[in-house]
Amino acid sequence: MINKRSVIISVMIVLCLSMLAACGNASQDDQKASQQPPQHPTTKPTPTPVPRVRPPHRKIPAEPTPTPQPNPQPGPTPTPGNPNPNPGGLQVTVNQASYSRTDAISVTISNGLGQTIYLTTPRTSCTLAQLQMLVNGSWTPVGRCVHISATPTRQLTANGNLNQTIQPQNAFGVLHSVPRWQPGTYRVSITYTTTYDPDTVGGGQQATSPTFTIT
């Protein structure tokens, strides 16, 4: 019995010593681990940036500077009663911009064509001028020659002037004791040719005055 107990005690002592030795080794390992400096993760090398190559600069052609053009100057406006200063054509003018219903209308024909022209056929008030009224967007002849008679062809030389007077008449030439114009917008027209015989040129040409009013 004594021998068995001795053996057991010896075994227990050995086990205790082994455990103590193992604990000592573990504590030494912990001390070594605590004394070692912390290990940093391995840093990756920074890649070298590749320089960006710019495309060649493309020049945009400049737009040509426009050449300033002179502004056209408007021509003079015809004044009623005064010939148009433009000598390049035939001008028909009246002496007022507005008339009353009993006013006579004075007409001036100015030949700026550079050649003689011919006027025929009596018109309103037996003159060479035809009065026209604006009716529903169309120019309608007004007045007539009451005393129809043979009228010789009138010629108007280059740069010459011819005056005509249109007397008040009732609408479209109807006769009454007190002749009056109808209120409205009017103009005067003439028919002319550049030859004495209009049939040789196929009829006449027309020229008109600026518009005016009768109130």
Q: Give which of 150, 143, 141, 192 is closest to 165, Cα–Cα.
A: 143
Q: Count Cβ atoms below 10 Å from residue 140 Cβ, excluding itself.
A: 13
Output the CA–CA distances (angstroms, integers) from residue 151 to 79, 110, 118, in the order listed: 31, 21, 13
pLDDT at 75: 39
Inform me whether the pLDDT recorded for 192 exceeds 70: yes
**Is the pLDDT higher at 2 or at 125?**
125
> What residues have CB less than 8 Å from 117, skipping those under 6 apart?
90, 111, 155, 156, 192, 193, 194
Question: Structural domain boundaries of the chain?
Answer: 1-28, 90-214
pLDDT at 77: 42
Please give the model's pTM, rounded to 2 decimal places.
0.56
Tens digit of pLDDT for each residue in 29-62?
555 555 555 555 555 556 676 666 665 556 555 5
Give the percent of the chain with pLDDT over 90. Answer: 37
Give the percent of the chain with pLDDT over 70. Answer: 57
Fold designation for 90-214: Immunoglobulin-like (2.60.40)
Output the CA–CA distances (angstroms, integers) from residue 13 to 8, 25, 27, 41, in the order listed: 9, 18, 21, 46
Inform me whether the pLDDT recorded for 172 exceeds 80: no
CA–CA dist 33, 42 (Å, integer): 20
Question: DSSP state, 59?
Answer: P
Which of 21-25, 151-155, 208-212 shows the lowest mean pLDDT across its residues?
A: 21-25
pLDDT at 82: 42
| Amino acid identity at 45 | P
| Amino acid identity at 92 | V
